[in-house]
Amino acid sequence: MEKKSFTFDEIKLKLVNYCVYQDRCHAEVEQKMREFLLIDEAKEEIMLYLMKENYLNEERFARSYIRGKFYIKHWGKTKIKIHLKQKQISDKLISICFDEIHEDDYEKTIRKIYQDYYDKQSGLKEYQRKAKTIKYLISRGFEYEKIIDNFGNA
């Protein structure tokens, strides 16, 4: 299949639209740029333009990602952090942006997911239900210490 060639300005516009559609991180934009045969200087110029015009903002991306994954998908901080690291977001920025999750919301979510999952476990002994539920919460990215703090004596 023949690749369609675009002018520098067309590529720049495509990448602006890519960033406008939803917040993106640098790694996603760099990945998208690989679709176009660009020399390094052109890639650099586009990246600088996107950052200067605020189409590309790593902190805004991280904050939006954290809010979405927690408040919509109900992921825990561990899972969110792993996924952000895969997108090459720095530990420092991740830590700063975790203030998007309010501590009381976090604990309420842990309690709700725990209770919902626990109630679905039937035909098991008490300790098995509890162990299975804790394991489930850990798989959702919640920290063992937080789970135990909330359900140490559940």
For 56, the 3-state DSSP assignment is: coil
- What pLDDT digit, counting tens, does each position of 45-67 carry? 999 999 999 999 999 999 999 99
- What pLDDT digit, counting tens, does each position of 79-125 carry? 999 999 999 999 999 999 999 999 999 999 999 999 999 999 988 89
pLDDT at 154: 46
Please state the rounded mean pLDDT for residues 66-86: 97
pLDDT at 153: 53
Domain boundaries of the chain, sorted by first residue:
8-56, 59-100, 103-150
pTM as predicted: 0.87
CB contact set of 18 (below 8 Å; sequence gap of 6+): 24, 29, 32
Residue type, 119: D
d(CA 69, CA 83): 10
- What pLDDT digit, counting tens, does each position of 117-147 carry? 999 998 889 999 999 999 999 999 999 999 9
Q: How far apart are the first and last CA of the chain?
A: 60
